[in-house]
Chain A
Amino acid sequence: MKLPPFEYAAPATLAEAIALLAAGDGNAKALSGGQSFLPVLAFRLASPSLIVDLRKVPGLGRIDIDANGVRLGAKVRWRDIGDDERLRTAHPLLQAAIAHVAHYQIRNRGTVGGSLAHADPAAEMPGIAVACDAQLVLAGPKGTRTVPAAEFFTGALSTVLASDELITEVHLPAWPATRRWAFEEFALRRGDFALAGVAVHYDPDAEGRVTNAHIGVIGACTRPHRIAAAEAVLNGKRPDAAQILAAASAAAEAVDPPGDLHASADYRRALVATLLERALTRAAQ
């Protein structure tokens, strides 16, 4: 339906944007690409009195890559990630996951910061942030703070972001060249939200054993999280077929997926096992 009425401001600086949000006293919301937020308004799930459009705020659209990893500005769009040749080696898992986000037109406007703030449990960017131990930089009236992605998401569409704070960037730690990885998700139609998805990466030791296993889940959860039980099955072991199956069944047991009209909880649980088996098999090849 039509959007609810609101006032609108497009401040020219980050400080002004934060001041407007603070003055809004919980009734002001930031707008980035709008590809999640405008549908939220269209469904009347939110009716803010003021929208603070970040389109004129400079300096949030950069992708910086150095020895410390990848820094994505909050206004980096999905297509910017797909088009960036450097990321093919600097963070191939990020690029592979983001390739699943929505459709062509939405990828031209949807942003990293918007997706993180929206916190859909099935969204790829929050999942990658958690699976890769990312740090989120939040700017507020009292300055900036850095929050680990694992602590940022508190539930479906819920985060620790205060009403007067903005995400300015997300920092993904450096990606070793020898790292093994895979991303798998299942959606009913291409570009739809995933019923379940898994992101996997680990660093093999000299004997080919798994170290530093990271397994993250989206979709089959109320917020993206790592699956410690499945990681523990793999660490120190060779990722052979038996070990992969053991990790997959541990993951299925550990997740607590919601059921809805798109898929039951049991179905999502089974998907996690299947997707993780596929991902680990591909990562080990």
Chain B
Amino acid sequence: MSATLPTRFELNGRPVEVTVPARTTLADCLRHHLMQTGTHVGCEHGVCGACTVIVDGAAVRSCLMLAVQADGAKVTTVEGLSNDESLTPLQAEFRKHHALQCGFCTPGMLTTAHALLTEEPDADRERIREVLSGNVCRCTGYIAIVEAVYAARGAYGHNPKVAA
């Protein structure tokens, strides 16, 4: 039993170790202890989706997870979607479709969409809308975001000849 805990996990492909108070959320651990500020914190109670990261392949809200619960996990943040300075196909579609304005929600949109298309490259617009319903954007009205995600499907193995 302890109030401060050493926690080890894999962050964007490299091992990290931090010692944090137990009450530290994964979101705050990423931002304040590991200085990875791409993950944004909006509501801090699991409503807005801005803090979405990918833990062991599944999109989760990093404000609704303690950092210590990530011990031993593989965590991917928006910083980990691209290996270099170039945009991923999903990010390029966001740019092409003007799927962001202020950009606050964008890291959560990208991580959520990346997890979705990795699991379901044939997701249709309705499925994309359903999944993105957990991410709040106050600028765009969502249409451009849905179109960007839809357009990125080819990069994730979507086969237009097989799926309707």
Contacts and interface: CB of A to CB of B under 8 A. Distances in A.
Interface string A2-25: 111111111000000000100000
A35 B87 CA distance: 32
30 contacts: A2-B23, A2-B28, A3-B25, A4-B23, A5-B22, A7-B3, A8-B2, A20-B1, A31-B66, A35-B61, A38-B25, A38-B45, A38-B64, A39-B46, A41-B23, A42-B44, A42-B45, A50-B1, A51-B66, A53-B68, A104-B116, A104-B133, A105-B60, A105-B61, A106-B61, A108-B58, A108-B59, A109-B58, A189-B133, A190-B133
Interface in A198-246: none
Given A39-B64, A104-B112, A8 B5 contact: yes
Nearest to A104: B131
Given A34-B64, A34-B69, A105 B134 contact: yes
A102 interface: yes
A157 to B, nearest CB: 16
Contacts of A102: 134
Interface string A87-118: 00000000000000011111011000000000
Interface of A: 1-10, 20, 31, 34-35, 38-39, 41-43, 50-51, 53, 55, 79, 102-106, 108-109, 189-191
Interface string B43-65: 01110010010000011110111
Interface of B: 1-3, 5, 21-23, 25, 28, 44-46, 49, 52, 58-61, 63-66, 68-69, 112, 116, 130-131, 133-134
A191 B134 contact: yes
B65 A109 contact: yes
Contacts of B25: 3, 38
Contact of B134 (A8, A51, A55, A104): A104
A89 to B, nearest CB: 23
A109 B133 contact: no
What 3 A-B pairs come out closest when comparing CB atoms? A103-B134, A8-B22, A108-B58
A35 B23 contact: no
Name the prevailing secondary structure of the B interface residues.
mixed
Nearest to A110: B64
A106 B65 CA distance: 10
Given A1-B44, A42-B44, A109-B60, A103 B49 contact: yes
Contacts of B2: 7-9
A43 B22 contact: no
A49 to B, nearest CB: 10
Given A8-B22, A41-B23, 14 more contacts: A5-B21, A8-B2, A8-B66, A34-B69, A42-B45, A51-B66, A79-B58, A103-B134, A104-B130, A105-B112, A105-B134, A108-B60, A189-B133, A191-B134
Nearest to B111: A105
A7 B4 CA distance: 8
Nearest to B61: A105
B133 to A, nearest CB: 5
A43 B7 CA distance: 25
Contacts of A190: 130, 133
A53 B60 contact: no
A268 to B, nearest CB: 22
Contacts of B64: 34-35, 38-39, 106, 109
A5 B21 CA distance: 8
B133 A3 contact: no
Contacts of A8: 1-3, 5, 22, 66, 68
Given A2-B28, A2-B44, A55-B69, A105 B23 contact: no
